[in-house]
Structure 1
């Protein structure tokens, strides 16, 4: 199990979660943030600082956003496990399911 960033993050991207994460496992896509499931240590430090409450423990993700566990995993299929977001910087793309969403939230 791991933490998951769900739809409320799309187009908000506050990035407080990145600053709080002690293992640097939160990556920046074009419109959303993603938690690398193999790098996350399940500490939960990111969840309380999210201003839109988009971060959930995988088994506690609300039903309407449960696909985001899969979306977070699939986002890293091409990228692999780079060992921290500071090693790669912003990715410049999103998972296809996020990329097709209508604009939402307030850009951060």
Structure 2
């Protein structure tokens, strides 16, 4: 089990490392920044903070918005405008940003 976990973490790290953060930032600036801000730290409670989220969570959410299995009329056209590579890059960009959110005990 420990070996399987190590393999999964290695594969996930390789996938995030393969993403192009500069391209993710550029695409986020074009598509996402108006609502979520360029670094993903939205100060409007209507739009979630994306900074610091797990890249795989963000990637899955964008794919689900794009294919309609996650229903959101606002996000649908934005997600549909992104290629798979764009989604990987944008997800990695937001995941790499420090979040303004804090954990409370």
TM-score in terms of structure 2 length: 0.31
By percentage of residues, which structure has more strand?
Answer: 1
By percentage of residues, which structure has more helix?
Answer: 2
Greater RCO between the two (CA within 8 Å, min separation 6)?
A: 1
State which structure, 1 or 2, has the greater radius of gyration over its C-alpha atoms.
2
